Amino acid sequence: MGQLGWHIDLGKCTGCNACAIACKTENNTPLGTDWRQVIIQEGGIYPNPKRIFVTMTCLHCEKPSCLKSCPVGAITKRASDGIVLIDQDKCVGCKRCTWACPYGAARFIHPSIPNP
């Protein structure tokens, strides 16, 4: 199998946040932890304003900078499909991955919030 990733037609995105809700539901993430978010970008000049919705999540990069930044090896890249994984049991919460990700996709799960 090759490298998996995302292909999203942003021209069709209406900003409904269904993708973010589905991701939260599927992954059962705790309150305050969202692995997918929808960013609103506004631009244009009156009388032609523009609004673009961009759905953001881990892009499972070919050479993830978050993986290189992790001092404890909590981030790995699965060889079979290229998916980037974070082992929450190994993570020490230094947040270097959040600073290293050029897309702002890496998220830190706060240890005081229980995962149901």
User: CATH number of the domain that 72 lies in?
Assistant: 3.30.70
Residue 45 lies in a domain: yes
pLDDT of 50 reads 92
Task: For residue range 90-113, list pLDDT tens digits in order.
Answer: 988 898 998 998 887 776 655 554
Residue 51 lies in a domain: yes
**What value does the mean pLDDT take over residues 82-91?**
87
Q: How far apart are CA 63 and CA 65, in angstroms?
A: 6
One-letter amino acid identity for 116?
P
**Residue span of the structural domain in which 33 resides:** 10-100
Q: Please tell me the total count of domains within the chain.
A: 1
Residue 113 lies in a domain: no
Helix (H, G, I), strand (E, B) or coil at 36: coil
Residue of 46, 48, 40, 44 lying closest to 10 (CA atoms): 40
Residue 3 lies in a domain: no
As given in the structure block, the two tokens for residue 74 are 């909590």
pLDDT of 108 reads 65
Q: How far apart are CA 36 and CA 105, in angstroms?
A: 8
Residue 110 lies in a domain: no
CB atoms within 10 A of CB 107: 19
pLDDT of 22 reads 92
As given in the structure block, the two tokens for residue 41 are 């970008």
pLDDT of 42 reads 93
Task: For residue range 26-77, list pLDDT tens digits in order.
Answer: 888 777 777 888 989 999 999 999 999 988 888 888 899 999 999 999 999 9
pLDDT greater than 60 at residue 114: no
The answer to whether 20 and 36 have CB atoms below 8 angstroms apart is yes
pTM of full prediction above 0.95: no
Residue 5 lies in a domain: no
